[in-house]
């Protein structure tokens, strides 16, 4: 096996045994990025010099007796997560030249654990999109088929992991932005419980929905990254107290006795027959391993998409108001007065999808419409959460497809509403603040199908057991090595 084919835990083990150095691994991955990313386009910025320096430092630290869990392991970071001294653009012209003076808490914790940050990955502008076609700078292709999208908004992170350019990457998930691209690219992608991981240093889209999470090619790697990143943070008042350390061996303890609910609403109209059949096939394999499977219902799920786009757009309107051409961000060169400066700076700096959501959010928060839209959406949010609470009185986890379809072609979904429907199976999880993981369970038409496992709040460990069982029964799913 080539070095770029190993996972996080495997590389950490090789490094610990002294069989390879971080410098060797990092150079191999940087060379892989240089070769493969010409076609994939996963990275907006590769910090070759900084990565090699960090790798050298990791090798020296190991010689000095240090043994952090990620010491010398390369990782990529989505470009809406702040990295000190390295551009964080959110794939937007608005922040094209922004260099943060600090690290996000998750980046700080990765570095403290010895990780080598190799670069920043492409995304939909300000995390608004389901295909990574909304990036202001470049297009990212799906490693399985360069004519297909990688999903979004964390498309660059999913693609670089699937293409074996890095063993793991960070993304953010507001309505499915980790799970949907993980599904499209055949990676494992976890959206943790809201509050499990600090959001400090994540450029805000919708603050009550956003959550940072990892991509990897196996479940143990995801669990290891969670051990490093999760836990309370005094810089984020919404981070949850307490910290759970996941036993990487227990991930493989099996699913015997696990009670699984299949919400009928998640297998209904709009979900392709191929996707349904592939997910049902994976569930039957779990039954053979001893899991107990029943059909159930989440009746308010049909309202989730409408509620999500009202809530998320309202919060985006508020969060993005700070980009005014004065304090920071893009500033128009020509303007007549202060109002014109605001208008021109925001018009030039933001792309179409971001403008669309700002306008929608401003509308639903405006006088006369607040109660009819935003307040009503918050009430529906409670009903959706109550649905899940009732289901988890009976079931340990819920299983569904991650996305209604496999990866679609570039330009195929030009209608915004059609694009929004790509998130119909993932947004309820964010609305309820629950943990969920997407794991590849098979192929349909030669493209990966993601199976979504939804769990109780702060019960990621049960998700890991289920996800690992799915992955083991599905076999090795990797795009053709090119």
Taking only the tens place, the pLDDT of each residue in 409-453 is 999 998 898 999 999 999 999 999 999 999 999 999 999 999 999
Q: CATH number of the domain at 3-257+457-474, out of 3.20.20.300, 3.20.20.140, 1.10.10.10, 3.90.1300.10?
A: 3.90.1300.10
CB 408 within 8 A of CB 445: no
pLDDT of 219-228, one tens digit each? 999 999 999 9
Positions marked active-site: 78, 153, 177
Find the mean pLDDT for residues 25-51: 98
- What does 330-393 look like in DSSP terms, one character per residue? ---S--SSHHHHHHHHHHHHS-HHHHHHHHHHHHHHSTTTIIIIIIHHHHHHHHHHHHHHHHTT
Read off the pLDDT band of 480 (50, 70, 90). Answer: low
pLDDT in the model for residue 476: 65
3-state secondary structure of 54: helix
Give this prediction's pTM.
0.96
Nearest residue to 127 via CA among 238, 43, 203: 203
Instruction: Report the distance separating Cα 469 and Cα 465, nearest Å.
Output: 6
Mean pLDDT, the chain, rounded, equals 96
Read off the pLDDT band of 328 (50, 70, 90). Answer: confident
- What percentage of the chain exceeds 90 in pLDDT? 95
Query: Does residue 482 carry a pLDDT above 70?
Result: no
pLDDT in the model for residue 401: 98
Instruction: Report the distance separating Cα 151 and Cα 155, nearest Å.
Output: 5
Q: Is the dihedral of CA 233, 236, 241, 246 positive or negative?
A: negative
pLDDT of 186-234, one tens digit each? 999 999 999 999 999 999 999 999 999 999 999 999 999 999 999 999 9
Find the mean pLDDT for residues 75-84: 98
Query: Does residue 478 carry a pLDDT above 80?
Result: no
């Amino acid at each position: 096996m080539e070095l770029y084919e190993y996972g996080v835990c495997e590389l950490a083990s090789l490094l610990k045994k002294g069989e390879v150095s971080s410098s060797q691994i990092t150079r191999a991955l940087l060379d892989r990025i240089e070769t493969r990313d010409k076609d994939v386009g996963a990275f907006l910025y590769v910090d070759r010099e900084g990565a090699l320096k960090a790798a050298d430092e990791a090798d020296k630290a190991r010689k000095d007796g240090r043994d952090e869990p990620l010491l010398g392991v390369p990782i990529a970071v989505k470009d809406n997560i702040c990295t000190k001294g390295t551009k964080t653009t959110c794939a937007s012209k608005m922040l094209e030249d922004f260099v943060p003076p600090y690290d996000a808490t998750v980046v700080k914790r990765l570095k403290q654990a010895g990780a080598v940050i190799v670069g920043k990955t492409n995304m939909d502008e300000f995390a608004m999109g389901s295909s990574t076609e909304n990036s202001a700078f470049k297009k990212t292709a799906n490693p399985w088929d360069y004519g297909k999208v990688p999903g979004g908004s964390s498309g660059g992170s999913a693609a670089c992991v699937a293409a074996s350019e890095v063993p793991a990457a960070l993304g953010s998930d507001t309505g499915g932005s980790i799970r949907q691209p993980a599904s499209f690219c055949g990676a494992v992608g976890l959206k943790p419980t809201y509050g499990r991981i600090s959001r400090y240093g994540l450029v805000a889209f919708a603050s009550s929905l956003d959550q940072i999470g990892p991509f990897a090619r196996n479940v143990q790697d995801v669990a290891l990254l969670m051990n490093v990143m999760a836990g309370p943070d005094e810089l984020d008042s919404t981070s949850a107290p307490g910290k759970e350390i996941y036993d990487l061996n227990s991930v493989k303890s099996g699913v015997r006795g696990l009670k699984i609910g299949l919400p009928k609403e998640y297998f209904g109209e709009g979900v392709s027959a191929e996707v349904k059949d592939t997910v049902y096939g994976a569930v039957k394999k779990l039954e053979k391993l001893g899991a107990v499977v029943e059909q159930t219902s989440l009746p308010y799920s049909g309202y989730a998409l409408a509620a999500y786009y009202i809530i998320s757009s309202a919060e985006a309107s508020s969060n993005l108001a700070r980009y005014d051409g004065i304090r920071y961000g893009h500033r128009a060169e020509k303007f007549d007065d202060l109002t014109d400066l605001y208008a021109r700076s925001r018009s030039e700096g933001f792309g179409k999808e971001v403008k669309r959501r700002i306008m929608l959010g401003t509308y639903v928060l405006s006088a006369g419409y607040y109660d009819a839209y935003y307040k009503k959406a918050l009430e529906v949010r409670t009903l959706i959460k109550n649905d899940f609470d009732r289901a988890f009185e009976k079931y340990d986890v819920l299983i569904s497809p991650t996305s209604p379809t496999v990866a679609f072609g570039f330009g195929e979904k030009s209608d915004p509403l059609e694009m929004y429907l790509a998130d119909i199976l993932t947004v309820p999880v964010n609305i309820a603040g629950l943990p969920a993981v997407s794991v590849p369970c098979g192929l349909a038409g030669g493209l990966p199908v993601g199976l979504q496992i939804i769990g109780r709040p702060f019960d990621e460990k049960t998700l890991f057991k289920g996800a690992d069982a799915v992955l083991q029964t599905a076999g090795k799913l990797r795009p053709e090595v090119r």
